Amino acid sequence: MLGGEQKDNIKEADCSSKKLKWVLKALCLGQLLAFCNAISGVLNQIITSETTKSLPACQTALNYIFICLTYGIYQFKQNGLSLHFSRTGVKSFANAIIDVEAWYWIYKAYNLTSLTSVQSLDCLSIPVVILISRFLLHKSYNWYQYGAVLLSILGVMLIVYSDYDPKDSSNVQGDIMCALGALLFGVSTVCQEWILEDVGIYEYMGTVCWYAILLSGVKVAVLEGDILVKNVARHPKILLWMLALGASQFVFYSAMPTMLLKFGSGAATINILAADVYAAVAGVMLFNLSYDAFYITGMAVTCIGILIYTLKGEGKEEDTEINDGSSDSLMKYSEKGLEEVSGPIDLDVRYLESEVLS
C-alpha cells in the first residue's frame, strides 16, 4: 500500500508529465503555424519582386482553391448542400468576408513595406484576440500571460524599429495596410474558434471555403484579371511561386483549427510571432539581408514571451479528442451513447443517427 505522501508525489509527477506534453504539443503545433506563415511571407516577397503590380486577391484565392478541392468536396459528398450551409451559414459567411479581407490587405502590404515589417506587425492581432475572446468565448487569462503578450509585443516593436526608414513614405502606407490586415486576422481567428465550438473541423472548413472562394474570385475578376494574365505571360515562374504559396497556406489553415480547439486563439496568435525568426533566417539566406542589435534583441525577447505564455497557459484535458466532423468521429460519438467525447461540440442527434445508419 502506498502512503499518502507517495500518492501525492505520483499525482504531482503525473500532472507535471501531462503539463510538459501539453507545452510541447502547443509549441510544436504553434511553430508549424509560424513556419508556414514565414514561408508564405518569403514567397510573397519573391512574387512581389517579380511582378509589375501586386496580385493580393489572386494570392488569397489560391489558398481557398486548395481547401475547396479537399475539405469542400469531401464535405459536399458527405452532407450535400442542405446541411452544408444551414448549420453555420451566416457565421461562416461573415467570417469568410473578414478572413478574405485580412489576407488581402496583408498580401497587398508586401508591395509597400518590407518582409520584416509585415511579419512583425502581426502582433497587433494579439490584443484583438484577447479582448474579443474574453467577451465572445468567456476566456480568462492570467497575469503571466498578459505579461508574456506585452513582452512579445515589445520584442516585435524593436524589430519594427530596426527596419524603420523615415525617408521612405511607402513603408508607412504598407505598415498601415498590414496593421489593418492583422486586426482583421485577429477577429477572424476568434470567430473561427467560436464557430468550431458548434461544428466539426471538416464541416467548418468545407463550408467557409465556398464562401471565401466566391468572394475572392469576384475580387480577382474585378481587380486583377488582366494584371494576372500579363504578369504570368511575362514571368511564367510566378505561377509556380503562387501555387507554392497556396500550398503553404493550405497547411496553415489545416493546422489552425486543431490549434484553436486544443490551445485557443491566444496561443495560436502569439506563436505565429515566431515567424519573425524564420523570416530573418530566410532574409539572410535568400535576400542577403543583415540585422542590427535591435532586431536580434527583439527576436530574443519575442521568443521569451512566447515561451512564457505557453508555459503559463492552461490547456484542455489530454484525453479530449478533436471532433473533425468525419463519419468515424460521429460513429464514436454515437457508440458512447452520444456522450461528449469529441470536444465541446453540440451535434444534431437526428443528423448523427442518419450518419450512423447510413
- In three-state form (DSSP H/G/I as H, E/B as E, the rest C), the secondary structure along 120-148 is HHHHHHHHHHHHHHHHHCCCCCCHHHHHH
Q: Are 272 and 259 in contact (CB under 8 A)?
A: no
Q: Where are the beta strands (DSSP E) in 139-214?
A: none
3-state secondary structure of 199: coil
Q: Are 30 and 274 in contact (CB under 8 A)?
A: yes
Lowest mean pLDDT among 69-78, 105-114, 225-234, 238-247: 225-234
Rounded Cα gap, residues 129 and 190, in angstroms: 6
> In this structure, what C-alpha cell is assigned to residue 171?
513603408
Matching residue, cell 464514436: 332
**pLDDT tens per residue across span 238-257:** 888 889 999 999 999 999 99
The string of pLDDT tens digits covering residues 97-152 is 999 999 999 888 888 877 767 776 777 788 888 888 888 888 888 888 888 888 88
Angle value at C-alpha 88, between 85 and 89, nearest 5 degrees: 50
> What cell was used for 6?
507517495
Q: Which among 245, 244, 250, 252 has a CA at the least distance from the CA of 32? A: 252
Lowest mean pLDDT among 2-6, 109-113, 138-142, 268-272: 2-6
- Angstrom distance (rounded) from CA 303 to CA 309: 10
The grid coordinates listed for 282 are 530566410
Question: Does the global pTM surpass 0.85?
Answer: no
- Residue listed under C-alpha cell 481587380: 223
Sequence-distant (≥ 6) Cβ neighbours of residue 50 within 8 angstroms = 235, 237, 238, 241
CB atoms within 10 A of CB 17: 11
Residues in the chain: 358
The residues, any chain, with a CB within 8 Å of residue 272's CB and separated by 6 or more, are: 30, 33, 34, 37, 122
